[in-house]
A and B are shown apart, each in its own frame.
Chain A
Amino acid sequence: MNWKLSFGIAITHIATKKKQSIVAMLGVLFGISMFIVMISFMTGVNRFLEDMAMDNTPHIHIYNPVTINEDKIIGQTDSSKNGWFVVHHQRPKNELAKIKNGLLMASLIEKIPGVKGVVPQVSSQVFFNNGPIQIPATISGIDVRKQDELFDLGSKMEEGRLDALLKGSDDVILGRGLAEKSGVRVGDKVSVTTPEGYNLLLKVVGIFSYGIVTLDDTKSYATLATVQKVLQRDPSYVTDLNVKLYDMQQASAIKTRLKAQLPGIYLEDWKEANAAILAGEKIRNIMTGVVSFTLLLVAGFGIYNIMNMNIVNKMKDIAILKATGFQGKDITAIFLLESIIIGVAGGLLGLLFGFAFSYMLSVTPFPAGTFFRINTFPVNFIPVHYVLGVLFGFATTLLAGYFPALKASRIDPVQIIRG
């Protein structure tokens, strides 16, 4: 088959039907560019939400949950073997939330390959007192250096410095919202009450902000020793171990491994902790897929229609080409090449426009209010999306052009020429 000849004829057809070709091309252009914008924006949103959540979420979180012992003591007595018992409204044991040998465990977990680091933490519900008003919050005692290294707390500081925590004792940093509610500024003192009723005066040395209201309104950090002191606990008292991995996708595997080694300890990976965000991500991915597919389908139908019309208009030409010796496959090639040229041109232009639109979106201010700390629309620029766009566009036009082209190749020249 003479591709060059078919290509030449296809180009001539396109060039002489400029308007029609441009309309078909615009369909593809629109489809592909919208596909690019959609997927760039959606994955941008996904990444933004994930980043925001992951800032604060350990890859694996180890803690002691409040549990109710299912193995009732009464069940261990002989009487239960030939009877039954009912326990109404069982209460949990007065157990400490403490992880036994937490600090030792932390240093052991750090040696597991794939683990970047472990931050031991003491967390407790507390009240911040603002005159007669009590503001519920949590206070977390942390290893300041490690927390900064693994969770980048230093970069979240709005006022004061994270290092200030290390300089004295009884110092605390507050979330932006919490500080406002407590009516304190850096340098002020704030009174903290624990659920057990212990009271302590802490000095505010910094204010941080994650950009997530629920966190900024309730979180505060101090050194391990300070929080242990607030809670009146010994220095081995640790309630949480936050594990950071090199590769967060390894979380499930390492969690399973830890679980086998640490029976009786509760582990949670980031996927469980962020199930809502991941579900949102899934929905956005499906939406992106459906909308992109629809756009491409519409573009495909556009090409299909235009090519069909084109072929009806060119019946005579096809008949004469066949009469002078062009074979069915030559005719197919001519019309298929026409749709491919339209598809590729429209697709490449679509990428260009898609990129331009995405760029414009990425610099457009995003009115998120105070809820998210974000200035412009989150947009990803990932080459794979662009490759996908071209491939989809190509496949759509190929498919849309194939059936009309096949129809063209089946035209019976005698019928056309004899009229």
Chain B
Amino acid sequence: MEVVLKATNIVKYFNEPEPFQVLKDVSFEVKKGEFLSVVGKSGSGKSTLLYVLSTLDTDFTGGLEIRGEKLNGWSQNALAAFRNEHLGFVFQFHYLLPEFTALKNVMLPALKLGKYNEVEVEERAMNKLRMMDMQDFALKLSSKLSGGQQQRVAVARALINDPDIIMGDEPTGNLDKTNSQIIFDIFNRLAKENHQTIITVTHDPDFAAGSDRIIEMQDGQILAT
């Protein structure tokens, strides 16, 4: 299996309130189609690591390579375009745009990408919502949906541009057992059927146990993989 993400010697400091090394020389690889869980206690640096991998946080040293492209030193605009096309995000607190319908929320990243016209984008967005079993709520304002429903819409949004990697920051952290299971099943299916790579940070031992591989972090270092 080819390597889709490669992190080498990642070091990151927090300067506030006082200098503190969060990530200490972290190196690992993720293969295409792998379902990876990053676990660890609070403050172990697992979330920080995820944001470094997501290209949102560029304030680190070390090498980051995704899809064979070295992303160090890219401009913010170039990274934004890269995220748009190749990365999908699911956050703990769903983070949908409250003024827009579920459908529009899913469509926005695709409209930004501009690969398909609006009609096609809408159709694709409906398909993704159907995948999440959310098609009946497509035209509802996202702020009117329940937490579990919002998270499913957020996953649909993460999938809209068919990204190589889907990153989740405790995607089930705010959900009940049933909804967590739904999200887990979807991730599992994406990895197995679409060979999309899943990297999630999680506190949920069951969720982690079900994934292909677990990376355990402690004090900014990888304890075990």
**Which residues does A use to contact B, with CB under 8 Å?**
2, 5, 9, 12-13, 15-16, 316-317, 319-330, 413-414, 417-418
- Contact yes or no, A417 B169, CB < 8 A: yes
Contact indicator B114/A2 (Cβ below 8 Å): yes
| Chain B, Cβ-Cβ closest to A318 | B97
Partner pick for A327 among B47, B51, B77, B91, CB 8 A cutoff = B77
In the complex formed, the residue of A with least CB distance to B91 is A417
- Report whether B95 and A316 are in contact in the complex, using a CB–CB cutoff of 8 Å: yes
Complex Cα gap A288–B54 (Å): 56
Indicate which residue in A12, A325, A413 contacts B109 across the interface (CB closer than 8 Å).
Answer: A325
Contacts of B112 in A (CB 8 A): 2, 5, 324-326, 330
Q: Do the beta carbons of B99 and A324 come within 8 Å of each other? A: no
State whether the Cβ of B111 lies closer than 8 Å to any Cβ in chain A.
Answer: yes
Which residues of B sit under 8 angstroms from A329, Cβ to Cβ? 77
Across the A-B interface, the 4 shortest Cβ-Cβ residue pairs? A325-B84, A16-B99, A327-B80, A324-B109
A15 to B60, CA, bound (A): 40
Shortest beta-carbon distance from B126 to chain A in Å? 18
Q: Which of A12, A317, A414 contacts B57 (CB 8 A)?
A: A414
Contact flag A323-B83 (CB < 8 Å), given A414-B51, A417-B91 = yes
Instruction: Check B100 for interface membership: any CB of A closer than 8 A.
Output: yes
Question: Which among B56, B83, B100, B113 is the interface contact of A12 at CB below 8 angstroms?
Answer: B100
Q: Tell me if B114 and A326 are in contact (CB < 8 A).
A: no
Min Cβ gap A147→B in Å is 73
Chain A residues within an 8 Å CB radius of B57: 414
Q: Tell which of B91, B112, B114 has the most Cβ of chain A within 10 Å.
A: B112
B residues 70-111 in Cβ contact with A at 8 Å: 76-77, 80-85, 89, 91, 95-100, 104, 108-109, 111
* Closest chain B residue to A331, Cβ basis: B80
B32 at the interface (CB under 8 A from A): no
Q: A2-B112, A2-B114 are in contact. Are A325 and B77 (CB under 8 A)?
A: no
Q: Contacts of A316 on B, CB cut-off 8 Å?
A: 95
Q: Which of B77, B95, B104 contacts A320 (CB 8 A)?
A: B95
Is A327's CB under 8 angstroms from B81's CB? yes
Chain B, interface size category, equals 20 to 34
Report whether B76 and A328 are in contact in the complex, using a CB–CB cutoff of 8 Å.
Answer: yes
In whole angstroms, how far apart are the Cα atoms of A377 and B6 in the complex? 78
Cβ-defined contact, B169 with A328, below 8 A = no
> Which residue of chain B is the closest to A13 with respect to CB atoms?
B99
Which residues of B line the A interface, CB within 8 A? 47, 51, 54, 56-57, 76-77, 80-85, 89, 91, 95-100, 104, 108-109, 111-114, 157, 161, 169
Contacts of B84 in A (CB 8 A): 324-326
User: Chain A residues near B113 (CB, 8 Å)?
Assistant: 325
What is the bound-complex CA distance between A7 and B98, given in angstroms? 17
Residues of A within 8 A of B104 (CB): 12
Q: In the bound complex, how far is the Cα of B111 from the Cα of A156, in angstroms?
A: 72
**CB atoms of B47 and A418 under 8 A apart:** yes
In the complex, residue of chain A having the shortest beta-carbon distance to the beta carbon of B89:
A323
Residues on B with C-beta less than 8 A from A325 are 80-85, 109, 112-113, 161
Give complex CA distance A326, B91 in Å.
Answer: 17
**CB proximity of A349 to chain B, nearest CB, Å:** 24
The answer for the CA separation of A192 and B210 in the assembled complex, in Å, is 121
Cα distance A13–B51 in the bound complex, in angstroms: 28
The docked-state distance in angstroms from the alpha carbon of A144 to that of B91 is: 93
Cβ–Cβ contact B114 & A413, under 8 A:
no
Given A12-B100, A316-B95, A328-B76, does the pair A323, B111 have CB atoms closer than 8 Å?
A: no
Whether A12 pairs with B91 at a CB distance below 8 angstroms is no
Query: Is the CB–CB distance between B83 and A320 below 8 Å?
Result: no
Asked if B111 contacts A5 (CB within 8 A), the reply is yes
Contact of A326 among B56, B80, B89 (CB under 8 A): B80
Q: Do A414 and B56 touch (CB < 8 A)?
A: yes
Who on chain A is nearest to B85 by CB?
Answer: A325
CB distance from A412 to the nearest CB of B (A): 8
Complex: A316 Cα to B97 Cα, angstroms:
8
Task: Tell me whether A324 and B81 are in contact (CB under 8 A).
Answer: no
Show 29 residue pairs from A and B whose CB-CB distance is below 8 angstroms, ordered by the A residue. A2-B114, A5-B111, A5-B112, A317-B97, A320-B95, A320-B96, A322-B56, A322-B80, A323-B89, A323-B95, A324-B108, A324-B109, A324-B112, A324-B157, A325-B80, A325-B81, A325-B82, A325-B83, A325-B84, A325-B113, A326-B112, A327-B77, A330-B112, A414-B56, A414-B57, A417-B51, A417-B56, A417-B95, A418-B51
Instruction: Using CB atoms, name the residue of chain B closest to A320.
Output: B95
Q: How many whole Å from A319's CB to the nearest CB in chain B?
A: 7
Contact (Cβ within 8 A) A323 B56? yes
Complex alpha-carbon distance, A412 and B46, angstroms: 19
Cβ–Cβ < 8 Å partners of B91 in chain A: 320, 323, 417
Are A321 and B108 touching (Cβ within 8 A)?
yes
A12 touches B99 (CB 8 A): yes
Q: State the Cβ distance, B159 to closest chain A Cβ, in Å.
A: 12
In the bound complex, CA of A326 to CA of B100 (Å): 16
> Which A residues are in CB contact (< 8 Å) with B114?
2
Residues of B within 8 A of A417 (CB): 51, 56, 91, 95, 169
Nearest residue, chain B, Cβ from A323: B89
Contacts of B81 in A (CB 8 A): 325, 327
Cα distance A317–B96 when bound, in Å? 7
Which residue of chain A has the shortest Cβ distance to B84 in the bound complex?
A325
Chain B hits for A13, CB < 8 A: 99
Residue of A nearest to B111 (CB): A5
State in angstroms the CA–CA spacing of A12 and B99 once bound together: 7
User: What CA separation (Å) do A319 and B89 show in the bound complex?
Assistant: 12
With both chains docked as a complex, state the minimum distance between the C-beta of A18 and any C-beta of chain B, in angstroms.
11
List 17 other contacts, CB 8 Å, given A327-B81, A417-B95: A2-B112, A9-B108, A13-B99, A316-B95, A317-B98, A320-B97, A321-B97, A321-B108, A323-B56, A323-B91, A324-B83, A324-B108, A325-B85, A325-B113, A326-B80, A328-B76, A414-B57
